[in-house]
Structure 1
């Protein structure tokens, strides 16, 4: 039977060995090393206990977080093969004490890798791609600097050339290493999107899909076929691309698309939706988008594809849509009041008769030239709108009075070369404060007005996903030059966004918060007498709760 043996060495250290009795004599099976301090002795004894527990292993199991025990050193030298202390002269030479070789945050990497695999992304069978995604989540940086991040996560990073080849492979049409539902010839993004859809389908309702667009700019001076100067909400003049994103009602990403920087937002919706529909063979889904997608061709194409939609309506359409209401009830509204009516598909078709007091109930057969329109009034929104209008009015008055030089602001018109306040426009705007409109092709018998409004308000999820991609994942600015490299970068960001949203869903914490709490939990690699052992960190209770949530979700 094997046992742990401690003996005093000639140098004054305490040697730890594993021995056994054979033929009535002790036989040394393995010499583990010598310790000069109680802590070092505790580490060696812990290693010995682990080896006795599993004779087949030659190192500690890294998935276990052992707590090193402190043991007392043998006080007197012991003769070789004798357990009783026997005095021996102490040599002057001492072995080197234990040293910390390195520390790393491998626990964080292992945790994110577990989430990555649980989403089905391991179908790619590409550890380098996975590491690039995890590095993007932990500390977004350039490809050259990604190696440093991976080393801090306890990984041996691939070379820069290998990382570049991985990006090329991510955009190329490749045959997947495993079957897993992915199609031959599909790119990494195709396989990731398929896995995202499968995951979303098992976790919730995918009949409602949210869509929005954003722009990503480049640190570049010249335009090309993809990177072009276009409309920017931030009024940037850098070349940019337009990115469209489809998410489910929880904000989990399902599809991403890249367009030229000067492409109109309204022209991005149909290609993304058709790509998503074709990929998964879907028909009965509802597409939700903001008023920026409110284009007659968009709504017509969605309707002809038998897809249902909910799109925000511009307030300027309210006077026509609510003409009957204003005639019979004036411009007074109550908080949370909802008016279910119709809106013309184009300005040339009028089907709402203001002479009728009752609002028409939309029906595609009886109102072929209109869509269903739902208008809701909110007192809280009215207060906010009035505050905004007052600021705009004051600015307009200042410009008219010559107190402020600026481009012609709202509510300022020019007559005979002189600026004056556009009081009629201001009065119309005041009349419509608090109103928000929604256009849809879903009949009231299928979806009540309240559900239409609630579905549209879920758009904050896609907006949050865009904020995460821009801030937490730093998708911009981009430094890539070719379209393939840009598409590969978006694939990395898309995958990182999916992992981040899943981490947030499981823990209820923002991804930055999770990284901030888990990254300081560092494993230590310690060298003692020619051997190295890696020990997991002590995990406080709050961080353990995060790990449990991520592991068992």
Structure 2
């Protein structure tokens, strides 16, 4: 389409407007042409009658916006869902919409309707969401999603090393029930809670989730989750890493009896006995980064005291040391400085309690005898001598995994902590509005699925979930009605947002 001027039989092309391949595009070009004619001072000199169908309800040449949606963000999450294979095993649009809404803005099921509407998606009825959570339990969405998570991990990272940790989710409820119970709380809370165990691969990608009674000891959660994972995928050869909270003689024996290899954080109080040989021959001096590969007793039985007569540390094997595990200790000066700072803060707090400056609460190194309080200097000195040491208990022989590999594998546990932080903050895992076990389990299935999609998106882009959402959410696709025809205008995607979108939507953005 062109704008031309005809003067005394001579035609001059003033401007080329473009080519139309549909009635909607032609309507848009005609409207643009009419505006251009006004610029040339010829708006009323001619009337183009091309016989195009028009919307009789709309005045001629009307231009209105009839809708918009965050198309790039919606498409990115949809593609991530499909690339993980979730759409193959969960054919439930309402469940997907709950996942999408939770990724974008974690909120209640009822308020998810608002989130979807703001994204430009027509939301379903609230009852549709409630019914889909019932289906999630009845049709085992969690099991189906877990199968796809396993397949993704095997194809990318591998499951040779699995990481396990637990967290607590609290409820503002007056009464306990069979699931929501008052239990041990690091925050010293007395609210009913549940225990959630999460198993992930070494990158933090979720593989299995478990829900337990709030009063259940954390050490009693790891075996059920590991066994559920094994039975679901028929896996036998893998290494499980967990923090010192999982360190119990029964847990380690059950993991070993199941043919599983483990790496578990040791408690610092075990260092004097485990490192007796090292301290005997080296005194209190330890080089920064020094690693001591030795053995630790399986239970209450002590190690042979005569072992310290030899300078060389024993090399663990299941056959030669049936009553011991392998333990790797490492000393780091940076850790020692951090430990010393923590101990000094605890010392100052204890002294303040003794002097009556702070309320009497349980504090480290406060010794109470006959209603009198005193600072336990010996306990403080013992703790100071052990600063900087960190131990790792395992049943993996040195010939299979070096001490340095044991340490680095354990430190991958930070990915579990990241996943928990994400599920409790970015995804708000706390099921405040749920009361029954079925509803809580369905909610955790939703959080587990959302966590998998978010980890996939973060791994693909190298950006945090928050960065992905804030970058792509403002990019809106607009639908306008021009001359009775609906035309969609794609958003302009540039800079960092384009780089993120290109990773999540392969082939959509040339040049990336």
TM-score (norm 1): 0.82
Structure 1 counterpart of 2:249, from 296, 299, 304: 296
Q: 3-state SS of the aligned residue for 1:299?
A: helix
Structure 1 counterpart of 2:192, from 239, 243, 250: 239
Alignment gaps of 5+ in structure 1? 8-41, 52-57, 61-65, 83-92, 175-186
How far is the alpha carbon of 1:67 from its aligned partner? 11
CA distance in 1, matches of 2:149, 2:371: 59
**Is the contact between residue 312 and residue 439 of structure 1 (CA under 8 Å) also seen in structure 2?**
yes
Structure 1 counterpart of 2:93, from 98, 120, 127: 127
Alpha-carbon distance change, 329 to 336 in structure 1, aligned in 2, over 3 angstroms: same
C-alpha RMSD of the superposition: 2.4
Q: 3-state SS of the aligned residue for 1:404?
A: coil
**1:327-367 CA distance string (max 9 Å, x none):** 22112111001101100001124246222222111111111
**Is the contact between residue 329 and residue 390 of structure 2 (CA under 8 Å) also seen in structure 1?**
yes
Structure 2 counterpart of 1:103, from 68, 77, 86: 68
How far is the alpha carbon of 1:126 from its aligned partner? 1.5
Q: Which has the larger radius of gyration?
A: 1
How far is the alpha carbon of 1:525 from its aligned partner? 2.0
CA distance in 2, matches of 1:136, 1:311: 33
Corresponding residue for residue 345 of structure 1: 298
Q: Does 1:307 align with 2:273?
A: no
Corresponding residue for residue 287 of structure 2: 334
Alignment gaps of 5+ in structure 2? 5-15, 52-57, 508-512
Q: Does 1:150 align with 2:119?
A: no
**Is the contact between residue 339 and residue 375 of structure 1 (CA under 8 Å) also seen in structure 2?**
yes
Corresponding residue for residue 142 of structure 2: 189
Corresponding residue for residue 206 of structure 1: 159
How far is the alpha carbon of 1:236 from its aligned partner? 2.4
CA distance in 2, matches of 1:67, 1:341: 80
**Is the contact between residue 24 and residue 485 of structure 2 (CA under 8 Å) also seen in structure 1?**
no
TM-score (norm 2): 0.89
**Is the contact between residue 351 and residue 367 of structure 1 (CA under 8 Å) also seen in structure 2?**
no
CA distance in 2, matches of 1:319, 1:497: 41
Corresponding residue for residue 8 of structure 2: none
Q: Does 1:226 align with 2:184?
A: no
Corresponding residue for residue 486 of structure 2: 532
Structure 1 counterpart of 2:133, from 160, 163, 167: 167
**1:257-285 CA distance string (max 9 Å, x none):** 11111111000000000000111111110
Alpha-carbon distance change, 444 to 425 in structure 1, aligned in 2, over 3 angstroms: same
The structure in which a higher percent of residues are helix is: 2
CA distance in 1, matches of 2:152, 2:109: 29
Q: 3-state SS of the aligned residue for 1:471?
A: helix
**Is the contact between residue 106 and residue 155 of structure 1 (CA under 8 Å) also seen in structure 2?**
no
Within 5 A, what are the aligned runs for 1:151-550?
A: 151-172=117-138, 174=139, 187-351=140-304, 353-550=307-504
CA distance in 1, matches of 2:3, 2:172: 65
Alpha-carbon distance change, 68 to 196 in structure 1, aligned in 2, over 3 angstroms: farther
Alpha-carbon distance change, 241 to 449 in structure 1, aligned in 2, over 3 angstroms: same
How far is the alpha carbon of 1:154 from its aligned partner? 2.2
Say which is worse superposed, 435-444 or 153-162, in terms of deviation: 153-162
Say which is worse superposed, 501-510 or 341-350, in terms of deviation: 341-350
How far is the alpha carbon of 1:415 from its aligned partner? 3.1
CA distance in 2, matches of 1:80, 1:338: 87
CA distance in 1, matches of 2:281, 2:60: 97
CA distance in 2, matches of 1:502, 1:189: 17
**Is the contact between residue 72 and residue 501 of structure 2 (CA under 8 Å) also seen in structure 1?**
no
Alpha-carbon distance change, 404 to 232 in structure 1, aligned in 2, over 3 angstroms: closer
CA distance in 1, matches of 2:49, 2:128: 53
How far is the alpha carbon of 1:125 from its aligned partner? 1.6
